[in-house]
Amino acid sequence: MAMLKNYLSMLVLGALVLALPACNDDDDGFTPPPSGEAHPFAEDAAAIAGDKAVILYEPVTADRTLSSDSVYFLDGFVFVNSGTLTIEPGTVIMAFESPSAWAENVNPGITSSTLIVTREAKINAVGTEDAPIIFTSVEDQEALDGTVNLTPTSSGLWSGLIVLGKAPIHKAGASETTIEGLPNGFNNTSGVTYGGNDAAHSSGNLEYVSIRFTGSETSPGEEIQGLTLGGVGSGTTIENIDIFVSSDDGIEIFGGTVNIKNISVVFAEDDSYDFDLGWKGYGQFLFALQRADAADHGGEWDGADPDDAPLYTTARIYNATFIGKGAAGEVEAGNAAILMREGGALSVYNSIIADFNRKGIQVEDLAKEGDAFDRLVNEGENAIGNNLWFTLQSGSMDDLVLPTEEGRADDGAQLTAYLKNNANVWADPQLGGISRDFDSKGLDPRPAAAEAKGNVFVPSEPGVSPAAYKGAFDPAGELWIAGWSSPAKFGILK
């Protein structure tokens, strides 16, 4: 009993950890709230993490370090308003689904928990293969002791991670805007504004970070992605990120110039990769695996708002492997694995798109200059080349394309000819195994097909790694998601 009382006293102190000036140890130098009362969730946190628990519900206003010696609990919207939030390798941050009265008092109108790094601050969350940083729900036992108690449908248990920056974006004629997915009437606009004119801006570093069981509604019809990047600049590092079980998109990028590498999105119930508002970076080694019963596009890639804006998405995607719902999933004849629209001019090279029970690609053709179809096929602003397609509602390259109903009558034939002329092929990639079940140890997304091992586009873009194969994984190499990621931890990988 004495230990519990001491722990609860510490928890009250820890609840203020992010509200006070920076110090070197998370457990020193704090003052209890004026009421002297324990945090409303103190007993819940104690039951999960014992004397390691620290509850976070107020904003970061100076440099702060979260130590792997503690387990942190997000209560409500926790803003990093200034300074750098450093998170040590192996640290676990758990989130409550609904906020306490204390958190609602700090940010009125909130209904869920999330961490928001504002454009005036930075996050330095650099884990390792042996000690990844985990953001997850308070219900996730695996994060603490390896016990698997949740399922592939356990989405929406908290909101997600949001990182904002000062790089260029374009929305409705403005160079900055507020992030989507927030509660109706939420009035903290300064903390959720992103965009600007600093293309090289840095929001910090995210490496070997796992983000699990996200997407709770912030208000009816409003959800937050597993990872949201708004106006994030090229000075930011986003590498080796594991996004696992989301009721919304896996990752959404709104504008900016950030580059992303080694990203895994597994079991997103909306789009796996959603790009919008003028993103101009590149992505390499992107992996997606969909659930059989809930998912939308592998990629939904938009240009700008409006779609004839001067700044629109021109990102480059190299070495993606997108695996759809499979033959057991719903047949979706009126949809495509990849949707490009709203004037987007994205390029896709050396990628594998397989096991979608729908067509392969739709490029929006609105029969006007500057639409996504015009920029790709007529103007050659971007390219889709050297990819391997194996979508289940297509039997060859001749019926891979889903035409746009509003567009030109021959846009399907034109796009098909374009794809054939740019070294796209339809073939079974012969993946080592596809599984969507926990503890199945059946997933191996490395391809064995000859078509996946040659005839690749060789990029010259700085920062892009050489890869003499198609897809996110070297057919003869180790899986970069092995060991540390959620598909490995939850027993999906072979």
The one-digit pLDDT tens for each residue of the chain (494 residues) are 333 333 333 444 343 333 233 333 343 323 345 567 899 999 999 999 999 999 999 999 999 999 999 999 999 999 999 999 999 999 999 999 999 999 999 999 899 999 999 999 999 999 999 999 999 999 999 999 999 999 999 999 999 999 999 999 999 999 999 999 888 778 778 899 999 999 999 999 999 999 999 999 887 778 899 999 999 999 999 999 999 999 999 999 999 999 999 999 999 999 999 999 999 999 999 999 999 999 999 999 999 988 889 999 999 999 999 999 999 888 887 899 999 999 999 999 999 999 999 999 999 998 888 999 999 999 999 999 999 999 999 999 999 999 987 666 567 999 999 999 999 999 999 999 999 999 999 999 999 999 999 999 999 999 999 999 999 999 999 999 999 999 999 999 99
User: Could you please report the per-residue DSSP string of 175-244?
Assistant: SEEEPSSPPTT---TGGGEEE-S-TT---EEEEEEEEEEE--EEETTEE--SEEEES--TT-EEEEEEEE
- Helix residue spans in 191-346 (DSSP H): none
- How many CB atoms are located within 10 Å of the residue 347 CB? 18
Q: Is the distance from CB of 77 to CB of 113 less than 8 angstroms?
A: yes
- CA 81 to CA 144: how far, in whole Å? 29
Q: Which of helix, strand or coil describes residue 489?
A: helix
The three-state secondary structure class of 292 is coil
Rounded CA separation 318/451 (Å): 16
Cα 284 from Cα 260, distance rounded (Å)? 7
Contact 442, 434 (CB under 8 A): yes
HEC string of 409-425? CCHHHHHHHHHHHCCCE
Q: Contact, 95 vs 224, CB < 8 A? A: no
Alpha-carbon distance of 321 to 480, in angstroms, equals 13
Residue 221 buriedness (CB in 10 A; 0-12 / 13-18 / 19+): exposed
Provide the 3-class DSSP secondary structure of residue 399. helix
Residue 13's H or E segment, with its range, is helix 2-14
pLDDT recorded at residue 93: 99
Predicted structure pTM score: 0.93
> Using omega within 30 degrees of 0 as the cis cutoff, is the peptide bond preceding 306 cis?
yes
Identify the bridge partners of residue 201 per DSSP, sorted by sequence position.
Answer: none
CA distance linking residue 1 with residue 221, whole number of Å: 45
Q: Is 333 exposed, middle or buried (0-12, 13-18, 19+ CB in 10 A)?
A: exposed
* Cβ atoms 214, 246 nearer than 8 A: yes
pLDDT of residue 36: 73
Residue 335 burial (CB count, 10 A): 17
Q: What is the pLDDT of residue 62?
A: 97
